[in-house]
Amino acid sequence: MDENIRDEAWWRRQAAAQGEWWRKRAATHQEETLRQNNLMYGGLIAIGVVLVQPFLTPGTAPLDLSAQICVTAFSLAIPLLSALIVLNRHETYRRRSTSSVFVLAAQQAALGLGYVGVVAGFWHIMTIAGIAILVGTVLGVAVHSAGYVQVEEEDAQATPGAEQPPQAP
């Protein structure tokens, strides 16, 4: 009988340790997501400013289609990205992310428009450069995904504080 009570106590400790580990992991995951989003948003704003700058000077030749797409995409993306950076600061302050569908749609739209602007800008410079950005992005997403999955799997296996279950005599 005492053995069953001891086993039950062990399982309760394990469940409590696992629950605490998952709570901490979820909180740090949310903070890291906000940091990574800010990095992407800021990077796209900087790239957009650099790519659009030559088109802002007076006396330039009329823009071809890829340059028009670049300028239009970034004219929409930059204000959205800026608003998302400010929102991320508020989310970081409150230590939680918004669940607004409108914000989630704006995030996807801003990232998509930024990506379209980058591709169009490089395409305007040189067609092969636009194709290279497309291929590089697919490879970059694949590398990030593979690395992310591997790190998360290794982290999940390295659960701290795990004890061995009690052995029956």
pLDDT surpassing 90 at residue 75: yes
pTM: 0.72
Task: Write the CA distances from 157 to 95, 98, 127, 161, 162, integer angstroms.
Answer: 26, 30, 46, 12, 10
Average pLDDT, the chain: 85
pLDDT at 157: 75
The closest alpha carbon to 57, from 44, 74, 71, belongs to 71
H/E element, 53: none
Residue type, 129: A
pLDDT at 13: 81
- What is the C-alpha to C-alpha distance for residues 22 and 20, in angstroms, rounded to an integer? 5
pLDDT tens track for 3-45: 666 677 778 887 777 777 777 776 677 888 888 889 999 999 9
